[in-house]
Amino acid sequence: MSDSFIQTFLLKVAARCNINCDYCYEYKLADQSWRRKPPRMSIDVLDQTINRIKEHVLAHELKGVSIIFHGGEPLLAGKDFFEYAVSQIKAQLEDICSVKFGMQSNGILLNSNWVTLLSRLKINIGISLDGYKELNDKHRLDYKGNSTFPQVEKALKLLFQPQYSEIRGGLLCVIQPDSNPIKLLEWFSKFGNTQIDFLFPHYNHYRKPPSKYDELYGYGYGLWLSRLFDYWWDNDIEGIKIRIFEDLMHLMIGGKYAVEAFGLSSVHLTVVQTDGEYEAVDSLKSTYDGAVSTSKNVFRHSFDDIFSEYLISSRIAKFENLSEKCRQCRLVKACGGGYIPHRYHPKLGFDSPTIYCQDLIFLIEHIEQRLLLVLDDEMKNKMITTIGTNQALPQVICKNQDTTLHNTVSDNS
Ligand code: SF4
């Protein structure tokens, strides 16, 4: 089978949001194409998108696909839309492949009617929030400047009820490097078993992180994550999966599959906008205006027509499209050069290591040190075969490290 296929179809069912997060790549950063898009996906666009997905499944003999409902805020599309979408997708695809449904929401509209519907339709729902009130309110306010925390906390309490465990997806949390990662993890863990994706904010070489760069600690994110790793690892935090750590450890010992931001596996995901335009991964909107546009549309083009687009094809042939520095780096099989939006450079395009290169070196070498203390010889050899060794590893064990070290790094924020 050719490597040029799409398996995860991210449908922008609503191109507007009901809250006003200041770091949002959809509305607040470089790309402003949302202003030209219909607020909701129409039934005509949805029907034609389903036709194109079916055509693609048959052409590539795919065994299974994922359909992710996304926005803006996807719940703004309304309950009738999801009833119709799921019934049509099942009618068209269920006889030819397996279908999984997912959604990423800010949780504001979530109530018992919604979770009942999502349960019936088997749509897995992930929630985005940045933690307890003080952290969440730094960036995730509504259009009047009010806190969104009470609503999202209510949504979490609802979703964590045992009867909804089947549809409860993970949590997305943007890292704030001047926060206390241990306090944050303890707060999350009170809800129950879950998976958390701690995300780097969407900075790049043009729009750099506000915290100060340091040759060892980068922008402070690697140190923050290392402190989180130590606490999570040493205390065996029951039921909390932290995807960045699990993915990196898996990749460091020779595994292949990880979230798009890491490793070298091909990324088989694309976006369909509310007007039916095919787009590259939406977080690229943080780089420059027009970054995600393909000018190709479900009414005139098939999914196969988009593989000529650099930002689609370069995520399939990942290693070949990394910078020279990354291709030579011993950590590349784990790091993967970092997430593509963070590699953007105004002169070099995407031919650059991520702006978080030093943060990732710090984090991966920290995890490497911790693993070397506990792995048996067979696993140690797997790790050495995958990422080699660095005899000159700095002493980065930081579980008892004073947070003032970290504050030095982020003083400029
Ligand atoms: S650690 Fe830096 S140089 Fe190495 S692969 Fe990652 S981004 Fe590239």
In this structure, are 155 and 219 located in the same domain? no
- CA–centroid distance, residue 332 to ligand 1 (Å): 6
222 CB under 6 A from ligand 1? no
- CA–centroid distance, residue 3 to ligand 1 (Å): 24
- CA–centroid distance, residue 354 to ligand 1 (Å): 7
Q: Is residue 247 part of a domain?
A: yes
pLDDT score for 125: 98
- Select from 244, 361, 386 the residue to mutate for testing ligand 1; criterion: most ligand atoms less than 8 Å from CB: 361
In this structure, are 232 and 159 located in the same domain? no
Q: Which of 253, 287, 313 is the last residue of a domain?
A: 313
pLDDT score for 311: 85
- Select from 325, 328, 344, 386 the residue to mutate for testing ligand 1; criterion: most ligand atoms less than 8 Å from CB: 325
In this structure, are 107 and 162 located in the same domain? yes
Q: Is residue 206 part of a domain?
A: no
Q: What atom in ligand 1 is closest to the CA of residue 364?
A: 1
In this structure, are 36 and 131 located in the same domain? yes
- Helix boundaries (H) for 143-242: 149-159, 181-189, 221-235
Q: Is residue 1 part of a domain?
A: no
Q: Is residue 204 part of a domain?
A: no
251 CB under 6 A from ligand 1? no
What's the rounded Cα separation, in Å, for the pair 3 and 398?
41
In this structure, are 120 and 232 located in the same domain? no
Q: Is residue 195 part of a domain?
A: no
Q: Is residue 35 part of a domain?
A: yes
In this structure, are 302 and 364 located in the same domain? no
- CA–centroid distance, residue 56 to ligand 1 (Å): 34
Total residues belonging to the chain: 413
In this structure, are 17 and 98 located in the same domain? yes
353 CB under 6 A from ligand 1? yes
* Per-run averaged pLDDT (10 residues), the chain, 413 residues: 88 95 89 92 98 98 97 96 98 97 97 97 98 96 96 96 95 96 95 94 96 93 97 88 96 89 92 96 91 94 93 87 96 95 95 97 96 94 90 52 38 30
- CA–centroid distance, residue 282 to ligand 1 (Å): 23
Task: Give 26: exposed, middle or buried? Use CB within 10 Å, 0-12, 13-18, 19+.
Answer: buried
What's the rounded Cα separation, in Å, for the pair 360 and 352?
14
Residue 268 in tokens: 């088989």
What's the rounded Cα separation, in Å, for the pair 365 and 373?
13
In this structure, are 254 and 346 located in the same domain? yes
In this structure, are 222 and 332 located in the same domain? yes
398 CB under 6 A from ligand 1? no
332 CB under 6 A from ligand 1? yes
- Select from 335, 342, 367 the residue to mutate for testing ligand 1; criterion: most ligand atoms less than 8 Å from CB: 335
Q: Is residue 233 part of a domain?
A: yes
- Select from 329, 345, 362 the residue to mutate for testing ligand 1; criterion: most ligand atoms less than 8 Å from CB: 329
333's CB contacts (< 8 A; 6+ apart) are 251, 252, 254, 263, 264, 386, 387
What's the rounded Cα separation, in Å, for the pair 340 and 343?
5
Cα 236 to chain centroid distance, Å, stands at 24
In this structure, are 110 and 236 located in the same domain? no
In this structure, are 397 and 362 located in the same domain? yes
Buried b (16+ CB within 10 A) or exposed e, 64-73: ebbbbbbbbb
pLDDT score for 198: 97
Q: Is residue 203 part of a domain?
A: no
Find, among 80, 75, 61, 92, the residue nearest to 126 by Cα.
75
Cis peptide before 254 (omega within 30 of 0): no
Supply the CATH number for residue 64's domain.
3.20.20.70
Q: Which helix (H) or strand (E) holds 90?
A: helix 79-93
pLDDT score for 243: 95
- State how many domains the chain has: 2
pLDDT score for 1: 61
Q: What atom in ligand 1 is closest to the CA of residue 323?
A: 8
Find, among 142, 40, 155, the residue nearest to 108 by Cα.
155
Q: What atom in ligand 1 is closest to the CA of residue 361?
A: 1
Q: Which of 294, 313, 332 is the last residue of a domain?
A: 313
- CA–centroid distance, residue 334 to ligand 1 (Å): 9
264 CB under 6 A from ligand 1? no
Q: What atom in ligand 1 is closest to the CA of residue 335?
A: 6
pLDDT score for 113: 97
pLDDT score for 412: 31
Question: What's the pTM value of the predicted model, to 2 decimals?
Answer: 0.91
331 CB under 6 A from ligand 1? yes
263 CB under 6 A from ligand 1? no
387 CB under 6 A from ligand 1? no
Domain residues for the domain of 335 are 185-190+213-261+322-413
In this structure, are 389 and 300 located in the same domain? no
